[in-house]
Amino acid sequence: MANCLTLKKSNCKNCYKCIRHCPVKAIRFSGNQAHIINDECILCGHCFVVCPQNAKEIVDGTEKAKMLLQSNNPVYVSLAPSFIANYDGVGINEMKEALKKLGFYDVEETAIGATIVKNEYDRMLKEEARDIVISSCCHSINLLIQKYFPSCLSYLADTLSPMQAHCLDIKKRVPNAKTVFIGPCVAKKDEAEYYEGIVDAVLTFEELTNWLKEEKIELSKELDSNPNSRARFFPTTGGILKTMKQDAPGYTYLAIDGVENCISALKDIESGKIHKCFIEMSACIGSCIGGPVMEKYHRSSPIKDYKMVSDYAGEHDFLIEQPDSFEIKKHFSIIERKNTQPSESEINAVLRQMGKFKESDELNCGSCGYNSCREKAIAILQGKAEISMCLPFLKDKAESFSDTIVKNTPNGIIALNENLEVQQINDAACRIMNIRSKSDVLGEPVVRILDPSLFMQVKESGRSIRDRRSYLAEYKKYIKQTIVYDPDSHMLIGIMRDISFEEAEREKKARINKQTVEVADTVVEKQMRIVQEIASLLGETAAETKIALTKLKESIDDE
């Protein structure tokens, strides 16, 4: 399969929107990036349409078309009949005029090929003994059957699509012609590349619009009329049936659009519930006028688009030369997918890793993009998904982690709304404020348990308070308090650290220090008294000694 869809990795934001909308889950995630699985993709383009970051890109065919125009061959455009809904008020003659300015030799409506195809469908039902016939106009539906419902492949009409039938008709009439199909479909790019030699290039309406803007070519707003144009109904739901005779004996004719609805119908066919039917199947809701490249950012309403097609279509067929059936035969083969089905034990092991230990744990919420937890587990084993894609798993893990911290931290935590009402409180805060049960204060004004002035100050100023020492007189507790305001959640968070023991130790130390100073002062004072007494005694002794020595000296002198 051609790689018609690519990914801009830098833009993928891991939102899983593409996998949620992919009907066949042909997207895998690795390294928080989405990757399209080519052998599973049916090119419905849903991921391209829903991606909020425009990370999905359609491979542009403009340069290939420009190269064809540089050749010496006449290049014809096969213009999808949905153009009338995409280019409001612009008829085929005006489209032809603009496209010729780009260098194309001529422009014809793909509805010519649609006429060939619907004639073949009528013949097939009348002349061949077929039980069920599924239209083969939509390449995405063809891929869906080839890849996912191979048992229904025999029911797929082995006929060229209108695009192919028309381009083959052009080349039959103009042997050296090159053909470029322009329409609203991604899958047609793959169809053109896979079945070589019929369609030389494919452009989307967006690519054509950009090319016209680049060349400063404006489309004239004028609707021409052509009564021989019933096949212009083809791009609408039931449009194929509307052009057919519907007169094959015993057949029921019905139209189904949307991949999910087509999958349901194919399951019914597989189980043998449906017989003797012609089924028009379209991957897009509303058929081709709901295509993924119907100007992605300027989508009109489906009712308005249908009315535009209806008003432009006629009541008769194009005048064509119907080719022989063998000339427009198309062979479809089974396209194998590489996925292997894991065992039940492997699936259960992954479910346990996702926190799904019993059936009631399997929420099947679809947030990961898969319809059930088991599908997600299988995708993980097939390398298409990651455990972290499970939102309940991540939520439970985050809550468990945060709850563990909140419950086990020695700090008291209290959360208030902007009305200063208690929204959350942990066990440590309850212990600090002697609160018996959290339910006693949850939803109540904080003034019931705390002075709200600091919370009001933070709320009004927007500035946090950090490590403010406070004394809670009513609880006889000292705390160090931090209060912050979270503008995203509009919540005030108070964190309290009980420092009563530290304060008690500080006071005890202060008392000890005071007592030590008092003792030291007493000792010093006493020592000073002793020193003074010693000094006094020494003074008396020295005086007496002086007198005695003086007398001794005098007596010696007398001798």
Query: Would you give the distance in Å from CA 206 to the centre of its chain?
Result: 24
Of 15-19, 206-210, 356-360, 467-471, the range with the lowest mean pLDDT is 356-360
pLDDT at 47 over 60: yes
> Which band of pLDDT confidence, cut at 50, 70 and 90, is reported for residue 285?
very high
User: CA 546 to CA 538: how far, in whole Å?
Assistant: 12
Mean pLDDT score of the chain, rounded to an integer? 87
Output the pLDDT for position 394. 58
Q: Which fold has domain 339-397?
A: 3-methyladenine DNA Glycosylase II; Chain A, domain 3 (1.10.15)
In this predicted structure, the answer to whether residue 429 has a pLDDT above a threshold of 70 is yes
- Residue 367 has a pLDDT of 66
Question: Could you tell me the CA-to-CA distances from 406 to 420, 441, 484 in Å, in that order?
Answer: 20, 17, 16
The span from the CA of 182 to the CA of 201, in Å, is: 9
Res 283 pLDDT > 70: yes
Task: Give the residue extent of every domain in the chain.
Answer: 1-59, 60-328, 339-397, 409-498
For the domain spanning 1-59, the CATH number is 3.30.70.20
Query: Is residue 298 within 8 Å of residue 323, measured between CB atoms?
Result: no
Q: Render pLDDT for 462-499 as a digit per residue (tens, 0 to 9).
A: 899 999 988 888 888 888 999 999 887 788 999 999 88
What pLDDT sits at residue 253? 97
Q: What does the CA dihedral 552, 555, 556, 557 come to, rounded to 10 degrees?
A: 120
Contact 276, 282 (CB under 8 A): no
Reduced 3-state DSSP string for 190-205? HHHHHCCCCCCEEEEH
**Residues 278/253, Cβ–Cβ less than 8 Å:** yes
Lowest mean pLDDT among 81-95, 375-389, 481-495, 508-522: 375-389
> Beta strands 491-498 and 465-472: pairing type?
unpaired
Higher per-residue pLDDT: 527 or 326: 326
- The pLDDT value recorded for residue 299 is 56
Residue with tokens 């006629």: 314
Helix axes 205-214, 62-69, angle to 10 degrees: 60
Task: Judge if pTM exceeds 0.75.
Answer: no
Domain 409-498 has CATH 3.30.450.20: yes
Which element (helix H / strand E) includes 548?
helix 500-558
